Amino acid sequence: MFAQAGATVNIDGRDVEVGQGVNTVSELSLIEPGTRLTLAHIANKEQGTGTYVLDQTVELPSVNSVEDIELNYNTILNPSTSQYQNAGDWNGILLAIQGIAAVLWAIVLGGVKRRKAAYSLSLLIGAAGFISVFFVHNQYVLWISYALMGCAWAAMLSMPFTILTNALSGGNIGTYLGLFNCTITVPQIVAALCGGMILHLFPVAANGAPQTPGMLLVSGILLLFGAAAVWIIKETYGSQKDN
């Protein structure tokens, strides 16, 4: 039941008293012929008053049959809502946890001599963090996910250049480092161009929102490949020095 008879619904800034019960349905087959439909892009229930607020509404013609309905999902984010603001605040907390975890893990990495093993392990830990976000539905459990991401972030900021320079010998090191920078920027461009297409491969959520955590799932899988690729690199000078 969306609103009972006699309840007040605010529609585009106007208070309207509901003459009869207003229902929401989860399946189109439950909609009976002759039912009048109102499309609301934004629907919220005000805390304290209990009034339902509908914004950007469109009156749709009566339904003759379920087959007449064409369902198109479109999610509109309203930054002025408390839900949006709370989500933004929580995202800031998670990023802070990621940053703290990155600093602590960087301290640990500073005392490790086996660079490739440490870097590969860090990427595996980060992959677990990214992949877990797709399956986690508790905001507090996300602390763990973002802390694991921070471990990978710390390693990616500090170790790749060292491993690369230790794998090089002779001249043209500047050229190789320039090409290495391309391996950082080109994937970002590819992600920007292809990210939308990848996102559409995931089914939308029940409320019509895109499954954006699916992109983090893809990121985690790519980190797994990266962790395996580390072992292909053959360090020369750095490995001899440590031995």
Could you give the domains of the chain? 8-68 (no CATH), 85-242 (1.20.1250.20)
Of 193, 198, 197, residue with least CA distance to 222: 198
CB 208 within 8 A of CB 43: no
Give, as one character, the DSSP assignment of residue 41.
Answer: E
SS3 at position 230: helix
pLDDT value of position 200: 81
CA distance 156 to 118: 11
pLDDT value of position 13: 62
Of 103, 97, 108, 100, residue with least CA distance to 141: 97
Return all residues near 62 (Cβ < 8 A) that are at least 6 apart.
34, 35, 36, 37
Q: What is the pTM assigned to this prediction?
A: 0.64
CA distance 149 to 130: 7
Strands 37-45 and 14-17, how do they pair?
A: unpaired
Alpha-carbon Rg for the chain in angstroms: 26
SS3 at position 122: helix
Q: Tens-digit pLDDT profile for the chain (243 aa)? A: 455 666 666 665 667 666 555 555 545 555 666 666 666 656 666 666 666 666 666 666 666 665 666 655 555 666 777 777 888 899 999 999 999 999 999 999 988 888 889 999 999 999 999 999 999 989 999 999 999 999 999 999 888 888 888 887 767 777 888 888 888 888 889 888 888 888 888 877 665 667 788 889 999 999 999 999 999 888 775 444 544
CB 203 within 8 A of CB 68: no
CA distance 128 to 144: 10
Return all residues near 180 (Cβ < 8 A) that are at least 6 apart.
160, 161, 164
Return all residues near 242 (Cβ < 8 A) that are at least 6 apart.
113, 114
pLDDT value of position 242: 46
pLDDT value of position 26: 45
Return all residues near 139 (Cβ < 8 A) that are at least 6 apart.
90
Of 111, 212, 94, residue with least CA distance to 153: 94
CB 163 within 8 A of CB 137: no
End-to-end alpha-carbon separation of the chain, Å?
Answer: 71
Determine which helix (DSSP H) or strand (DSSP E) holds 186, and give its type and residue range. helix 173-199
